[in-house]
Amino acid sequence: MLRKFTAPSYTFSNEAESKRDKKCSKNEEFMSCGTKCEPTCNVATSPCTGDCVQSGCQCKNGYKRGENGCRLPGPDCE
């Protein structure tokens, strides 16, 4: 009797490793569950649902999106 042997296939997902592989600009971080309500320099923050949108680079916590990337709120935030 012949037995068919199939080697198990192991796939792992390491969130820290996958984040490390994503290249984001200064003051940005890769988000696997991004927000569609990212704060911006020139628009007041509005209430936001917790819905996930496509993964990608977003401003780090405390930063706002401006014309020249993510900035701290204040005079440099344009």
What is the predicted pLDDT for the residue at 9? Answer: 46
Residue 29 has pLDDT above 80, yes or no: yes
E strands, 1-78, are 28-31, 56-59, 64-66, 69-71
- Determine the 3-state secondary structure of 19 from DSSP: helix
Question: What pLDDT band is residue 60 in, cutting at 50, 70 and 90?
Answer: very high
| Whether the predicted model's global pTM rises above the 0.95 cut | no
